[in-house]
Structure 1
Amino acid sequence: MKKTSTLHRGFLSLEMMGVLAIIAVAIVLAVGAVSGMFNKSTINDEIANVQALVTQSRGMLKTQGEYPFTNGAKMTGTLVQFGGVPGNMTINGEKSKGDAKIANGWGGEVIIAPEKVQGSTNNKGFSVTYKNVPQEACSTMATKLSGSAMIHEVSISGSNNVGAVTAEKAGSQCKADNGSVGVNTLIFKSNN
């Protein structure tokens, strides 16, 4: 009688393990690229949102050359109530009551408030405050929006800048994220 031996092979061959490793690396790279694209998209959306909030505030909330509000909560709630908030922004609270709040793409609060800007008297200006802004978005938003004719001052995490903010200034004033959470507060001021 002849004895036959059976060859036992592992579950996966070495070649198959190599192919699976390459596929895993490709998936990780693809997820990173998609995440980067979403981050750039959020930054661009929020730049457009700031511009829209400034435009809508000027058009809807200015009365006889001033913004006659006692605080940011009232001014923000009124802008929400009047339908002046871009559709892609999160609104928390009941829109019709005039006390709803706005959140940006990173979950930070957005406040529109009456301001005295660059020597204006009374509340002839206003500000748009963005909280929880990531470092990369902080630098991009500060440099792009500060060059706009609508924005006259930009405060970056407590440092006030009049006029255009350079990339170097933004880079030094925007703070690093705390893990994956942005810690920067941007305040865009308009005196019109």
Structure 2
Amino acid sequence: MSWYLDNVYDLNNESPYTFYIPSSEVLNKLKVGDSVKLIFVTEKAKEDGYRAERMWVQITNIKGKKFMGKLDNKPRLLPLKIGNEISFGIENICDTQYEDPNSSEWDFYFDTLVTVSEDVLKKREFNFMLRDYPNSEGDSGWSILSGYEDDDELSNPENFQIVSVGAILNIDDSILEFIQEAPLCAYEKDDEGKFFKIDDYDWESYLNG
């Protein structure tokens, strides 16, 4: 069974707010004997769709941005064994044994939760955002809509999901400018595709509806 190592920079480019990559501060610390995690991918997926596994490799040699190491995990799928020699580059490292000084930023992307309509996830587009007071741990209070939902969709809780704010930032990260604004607030996209604050939003009807 053939396999390859995923390029974490390509994966991060596709999902910049939900696919973590180690910071340069962490990567510059690496030395022989340290452990790093790589993503091993099979050329052909199994029947259940499984085709990748993340495994630790202990570094045995470093030349610039090229590394040699020994596999330190027992594979579930791949035809490899603990101790097998692995050649890899810095572009293949998805995690290290070190605490990342940038981890708090990633915690925000992963742990901050928003309510989003199924239509947003389907269209990969949103045009309206409203922030109410949070009602549970991790809840940001933000509700995010495509703007195309009809009344029936909006009244059915099954048409909504709870996702990380990072998943929404992957669609449009211009909202970082106001994502920390305190409740109550509402934003909508204009004809040029830029969000503006709705200063005259009818909060009385919303809160009493």
Q: Per the shorter chain, which TM-score range? A: under 0.3
Where is the strand percentage greater, Structure 1 or Structure 2?
Answer: 2
What TM-score do you get using the length of structure 2 for normalisation? Answer: 0.20
What TM-score do you get using the length of structure 1 for normalisation? Answer: 0.21
